[in-house]
């Protein structure tokens, strides 16, 4: 069977799965599907034959991937190979016989060609800084001395630390003042820094403190049992902080540290577009969502935008989940890949006859292990529960949730494990907002829910007790673009097929949808709000008369217009409007431009000129005759009027008229006409000039 230009090999794993090859083939349209029975053993020749072909090979087995990769390595010019798990995700289940739609959907999703994420490179030469309080740190450094280059800095009491008989690692005393950096580029400031004395006899003795010092290292082993050096320290690459009282944790850290030399690739999780960032404009703060939720400190203000440190980012995706504009976009997969996965997954599921699917969003790691445990030791996943693996469950936001619901998901279950980020409450607020929208449209409660557990049985119970109500009519449109562009078609579809559609849905404060209210009487059309709006929700009309218009579909309720407005006449109104008028610019206020009283050139607005004139009427600077009129002149006329004012310190004599060649020629002609007219008046007619007479020199 072929899917998307890939050769697909299915196996019923020695008859432990019921695979309906005909139903799967019909759904995928990839030709005949004949499942193998023991592809990894007796029928390995089938895999070898496929790998020798021209098409990439997709094998529906992950358990035996090492064996297939070994086979792949032994074939010269073998085709590309990839794997997908349909056994633990679908086949090994009490509903396995009814899982053909889900198996077809998983195969179609796995056959997609998605753009890979870009990466950053980190290099470690093995320079290790060991921080500790006692001999535990020294012992750890000695164990790593053969593989790394350790240095020990102790902060405990020297008289309680036995002096080593062999000083094979440098030992110092000091207190960590600050730390920054990442794997391969750490910088640690140490105060009261002092080296160990070589004459230390029973206990370590140190020289007098020489002030502060800076350690630049590739790796850090923190055994101090004190405050963590970095926010979200366990997520900082190259920073190890086991419990010094747990020999097992220390041994595990040493084992991992021993291999931490060389070059390491790390995905660039976030793509940032500062042009649509709603953080700040002209030092006015609007949105702070990504700054508030980042658990590792990878985000920081930078001018009017945000600086994302890809070396510090741990990939939790919370910033992308809560970003209202899509300025922060998660890149695993890159681009629009996540929407395409949803579209193909649900499209194939419904084409194969599936009904009322429940999308189970989980992580590749611990979430996948829980699904494996369900399949191996319990009843497996129900046939209508379709798993969707993510790098992090918290990477998805409103755009993903609305897209999945628009594609036909009856329910969305997001699996979080108890060791999640503490800042994931922000993600829970996004889920609550999606629930509010779905309930407001009449779809009912628990369309989107979070299950937080590490117990497979608790997950199984939560899935079994879900109401099997159907979702919205499945859509087939392709979602592309940034977050706002992705949400718009999904919301339009959900509203069009809602059981109880409403035109306007009230939302809680902080929601990234809404309108603005403007006090028309107080607005002077200064248009400062237009320049501050990062989402192009506010717009002026520079070619015609002064005008302020607003498109509600673009507004993210960042509040920059409120903070920027000098008249303080703008307030936010969180809501979700499904009216067609919300997707086009609506004029809020317009008026005729003010005309310069000197040259009649249009400039500014009448309201702003009159407001400024009224405020400055009593100001001493404008007390003189005609002084206030300058405010009613354009920029050019205002300068001319100032230089013509004799009382102005920069006034000068009247400028002489500039004379050109045309002026002189015109005056000469005028003089000739005047002379001719005078002669004619006196009866004198000038003789015509006939030129020189013949035979005479002129």
* Residue whose structure tokens are 């609007």: 286
In a domain, 290, yes or no: yes
Calculate mean pLDDT across residues 288-299: 94
Quote the pLDDT of residue 691: 56
Shared-domain flag, residues 185 and 254: yes
In a domain, 30, yes or no: yes
DSSP state of 263: E
Paired strand residues for 264: 122
Written in H, E and C, the secondary structure of 135-204 is HHHHHHHHHHCCCCEEEEEECCCHHHCECCCCCCCCEEEEEEEEEECCCCCEEEEEEEEEEECCCCCCEC
In a domain, 111, yes or no: no
* Domain boundary residue, one of 472, 502, 532: 502
In a domain, 665, yes or no: no
Q: What is the pLDDT of residues 478-496, one digit of tens each?
A: 988 889 989 999 999 999 9
Paired strand residues for 340: none
Return the SS3 of 471: coil
Q: What is the rounded distance in angstroms from the CA atom of residue 92 to the CA atom of residue 16?
A: 7
Shared-domain flag, residues 230 and 193: yes
Calculate mean pLDDT across residues 133-153: 95
Shared-domain flag, residues 562 and 459: no
pTM of the shown model = 0.85
Can you say whether the dihedral through the CA atoms of 342, 347, 352, 355 is positive or negative?
positive
Q: Encoding tokens for residue 230?
A: 């970095």
- Judged against a pLDDT cut of 70, whether residue 473 lies above it is answered with yes
In a domain, 51, yes or no: yes
Nearest to 573 by CA among 615, 609, 613, 537: 537
Quote the pLDDT of residue 698: 46
**Strands across the sheet containing 570-577:** 504-506, 570-577, 514-518
Calculate mean pLDDT across residues 265-280: 95
* Domain boundary residue, one of 59, 83, 107: 83
Nearest to 511 by CA among 447, 556, 571, 560: 556
Calculate mean pLDDT across residues 240-248: 95
Calculate mean pLDDT across residues 255-262: 96
Chain-centre distance for alpha carbon 680:
91
Quote the pLDDT of residue 2: 93
Nearest to 166 by CA among 148, 141, 147, 149: 141
Shared-domain flag, residues 357 and 489: yes
Q: What is the span of the domain harbouring residue 623?
A: 598-644
Q: What is the rounded distance in angstroms from the CA atom of residue 163 to the CA atom of residue 135?
A: 9
Quote the pLDDT of residue 159: 73
Q: Encoding tokens for residue 97?
A: 């016989």
Q: What is the pLDDT of residues 647-688, one digit of tens each?
A: 656 555 566 677 888 888 888 888 888 888 888 887 776 655
Beta strands in 336-447 (DSSP E): 358-363, 385-390, 411-416
Shared-domain flag, residues 518 and 582: yes
- Strand 186-195 and strand 213-217: the pairing is antiparallel
Nearest to 244 by CA among 135, 165, 142: 135
DSSP state of 96: G
Q: Encoding tokens for residue 585?
A: 């610019």
Q: What is the rounded distance in angstroms from the CA atom of residue 646 to the CA atom of residue 658?
A: 22
Can you say whether the dihedral through the CA atoms of 564, 569, 575, 576 is positive or negative?
negative
Listed range (108-122, 418-432, 543-557) with the worst mean pLDDT: 418-432
Torsion on CA atoms 98, 100, 106, 110, rounded to nearest 10: 160
- Judged against a pLDDT cut of 90, whether residue 580 lies above it is answered with yes
- Judged against a pLDDT cut of 90, whether residue 181 lies above it is answered with yes
Shared-domain flag, residues 162 and 46: no
Calculate mean pLDDT across residues 114-139: 94
Q: What is the rounded distance in angstroms from the CA atom of residue 259 to the CA atom of residue 253?
A: 11
Question: pLDDT band for position 529 (50/70/90)?
Answer: very high
Calculate mean pLDDT across residues 243-265: 96
Q: What is the rounded distance in angstroms from the CA atom of residue 627 to the CA atom of residue 232?
A: 62
Beta strands in 514-598 (DSSP E): 514-518, 538-539, 547-550, 570-577, 586-590, 593-595
* Residue whose structure tokens are 């500062």: 274
* Residue whose structure tokens are 């504009």: 325
Shared-domain flag, residues 490 and 344: yes
Calculate mean pLDDT across residues 37-53: 96
In a domain, 577, yes or no: yes
CATH of the domain at 538: 3.30.70.3270
For residue 333, cis peptide bond before it (omega within 30 degrees of 0): yes
- Judged against a pLDDT cut of 70, whether residue 468 lies above it is answered with yes
How far lies 383's CA from each of 100, 157, 355, 369, in Å?
Answer: 8, 62, 10, 19
Return the SS3 of 474: coil
* Residue whose structure tokens are 């792949």: 72
Shared-domain flag, residues 306 and 254: no
Shared-domain flag, residues 65 and 175: no
Alpha helices in 626-683 (DSSP H): 635-644, 661-681
CB 442 within 8 A of CB 498: yes
Q: What is the pLDDT of residues 384-394, one digit of tens each?
A: 999 999 999 99
Quote the pLDDT of residue 615: 77
What values do phi and psi take at 11, rounded to 5? -145, 135
* Domain boundary residue, one of 455, 474, 502: 502
Quote the pLDDT of residue 570: 97
User: Looking at the 3D structure of the chain, how many domains does it have?
Assistant: 6
Reported residue count of the chain is: 698
pLDDT above 90 covers what percent of the chain? 73
Vertex 301 angle, CA 300 and 304, to 5°: 155
Q: Encoding tokens for residue 582?
A: 């919300």
CB 291 within 8 A of CB 306: yes
Q: 351, exposed or middle or buried, with CB in 10 Å at 0-12, 13-18, 19+? A: middle
Nearest to 118 by CA among 331, 282, 365, 327: 331
Quote the pLDDT of residue 50: 96
Quote the pLDDT of residue 506: 96
Q: What is the pLDDT of residues 590-628, one digit of tens each?
A: 887 888 888 888 877 777 787 778 878 777 777 666 778
Shared-domain flag, residues 34 and 157: no
Question: pLDDT band for position 692 (50/70/90)?
Answer: low
In a domain, 653, yes or no: no
Quote the pLDDT of residue 508: 95
Q: What is the pLDDT of residues 407-455, one digit of tens each?
A: 999 999 999 988 766 678 899 999 999 999 999 999 998 999 999 999 9
CB 206 within 8 A of CB 197: yes
Provide the 10 A C-beta neighbour count for residue 467: 11
Q: Encoding tokens for residue 111?
A: 């056959």
Q: What is the pLDDT of residues 313-371, one digit of tens each?
A: 999 999 999 999 999 999 988 889 999 999 999 999 999 999 999 999 999 999 999 99
What values do phi and psi take at 416, rounded to 5? -115, 140
In a domain, 109, yes or no: no
Report the chain's mean pLDDT, rounded to a whole number.
91
Buried b (16+ CB within 10 A) or exposed e, 437-465: bbebbebeeebbebbeeeebeebbeebee
Q: What is the rounded distance in angstroms from the CA atom of residue 197 to the CA atom of residue 159?
A: 13
Shared-domain flag, residues 381 and 345: yes
**Strands across the sheet containing 411-416:** 385-390, 358-363, 411-416, 448-452
Calculate mean pLDDT across residues 238-247: 95
Where on the phi/psi map is residue 353: left (φ > 0), alpha (ψ -120 to 50), or beta?
left
Calculate mean pLDDT across residues 289-318: 95
What values do phi and psi take at 390, rounded to 5? -130, 160
Paired strand residues for 358: 385, 411
Shared-domain flag, residues 497 and 584: no
């Amino acid at each position: 069977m072929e899917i998307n230009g890939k050769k697909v090999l299915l196996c019923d794993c020695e008859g432990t799965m019921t695979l309906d090859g005909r139903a799967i083939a019909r759904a995928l349209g990839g030709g005949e599907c004949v499942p193998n029975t023991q592809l990894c053993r007796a029928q390995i020749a089938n895999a070898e034959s496929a790998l020798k072909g021209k098409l990439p090979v997709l094998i529906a087995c992950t358990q035996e991937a090492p064996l297939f990769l070994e086979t792949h390595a032994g074939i010269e010019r073998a085709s590309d190979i990839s794997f997908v798990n349909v056994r633990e995700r679908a086949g090994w289940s009490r509903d396995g016989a009814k899982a053909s739609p889900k198996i077809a959907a998983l195969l179609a999703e796995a056959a997609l060609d998605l753009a890979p994420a870009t990466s950053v490179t980190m290099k470690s030469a093995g320079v290790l800084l060991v921080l500790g309080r006692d001999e535990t740190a020294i012992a750890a450094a000695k164990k790593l001395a053969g593989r790394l280059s350790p240095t020990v800095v102790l902060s405990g009491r020297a008289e309680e630390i036995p002096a080593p008989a062999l000083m094979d690692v440098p030992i110092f005393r000091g207190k960590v003042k600050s730390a920054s950096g990442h794997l391969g580029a750490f910088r640690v400031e140490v105060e009261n820094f002092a080296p160990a004395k070589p004459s230390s006899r029973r206990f370590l003795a140190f020289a007098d403190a020489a002030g502060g010092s800076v350690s630049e290292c590739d790796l850090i082993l923190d055994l101090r049992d004190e405050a963590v050096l970095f926010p979200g320290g366990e997520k900082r690459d190259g920073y190890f902080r086991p419990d010094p009282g747990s020999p097992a944790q220390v041994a595990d850290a040493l084992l991992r540290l021993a291999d931490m030399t060389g070059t390491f690739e790390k995905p660039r999780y976030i793509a940032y577009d500062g042009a649509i960032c709603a953080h700040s404009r002209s030092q006015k703060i609007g949105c702070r969502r990504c700054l508030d939720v980042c658990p590792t400190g990878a985000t920081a203000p930078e001018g009017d935008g945000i600086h994302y440190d890809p070396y510090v980012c741990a990939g939790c995706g919370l910033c992308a989940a809560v970003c209202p504009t899509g300025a922060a976009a998660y890149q695993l997969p890159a681009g629009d890949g996540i929407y395409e996965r949803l579209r193909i997954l649900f499209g194939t599921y419904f084409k194969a006859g599936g009904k009322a699917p429940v999308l189970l969003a989980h992580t590749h790691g611990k979430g996948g292990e829980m699904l494996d445990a369900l399949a191996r030791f319990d009843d497996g996943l129900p046939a209508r529960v379709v798993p969707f693996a993510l790098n992090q469950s918290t990477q998805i936001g409103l755009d993903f949730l609305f897209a999945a619901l628009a594609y036909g998901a009856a329910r969305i279950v997001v699996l979080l494990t108890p060791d999640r980020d503490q800042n994931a409450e922000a993600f829970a607020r996004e889920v609550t907002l999606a629930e509010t929208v779905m309930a407001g449209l009449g779809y009912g409660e628990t369309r989107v829910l979070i299950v937080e557990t590490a117990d497979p049985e608790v997950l199984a119970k939560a899935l079994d007790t879900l109401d099997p109500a159907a979702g919205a009519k499945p859509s087939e449109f392709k979602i592309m673009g940034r977050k706002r562009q992705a949400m718009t078609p999904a919301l339009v579809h959900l509203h069009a097929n809602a059981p109880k559609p409403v035109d306007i849905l009230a939302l809680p404060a902080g929601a990234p949808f809404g309108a603005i209210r403007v006090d028309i009487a107080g607005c002077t059309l200064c248009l400062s709000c237009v320049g501050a709006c990062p989402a192009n929700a506010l717009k002026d009309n520079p070619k015609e008369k002064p005008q302020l218009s607003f498109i509600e579909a673009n507004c993210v309720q960042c509040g920059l217009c409120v903070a920027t407005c000098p008249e303080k006449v703008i307030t936010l109104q969180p809501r979700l409007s499904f009216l067609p008028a919300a997707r086009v610019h609506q004029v809020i206020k317009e008026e005729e431009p003010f005309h310069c009283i000197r040259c009649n050139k249009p400039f500014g607005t009448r309201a702003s000129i009159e407001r400024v004139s009224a405020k400055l009427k009593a100001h001493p600077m404008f007390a003189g005759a005609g002084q206030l009129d300058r405010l009613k002149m354009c920029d050019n006329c205002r300068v001319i009027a100032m230089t013509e004012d004799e009382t102005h310190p920069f006034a000068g004599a009247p400028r002489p008229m500039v004379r050109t060649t045309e002026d002189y020629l015109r005056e000469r002609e005028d003089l000739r006409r005047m002379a001719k007219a005078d002669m004619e008046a006196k009866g004198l007619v000038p003789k015509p000039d006939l030129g020189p007479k013949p035979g005479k020199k002129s």
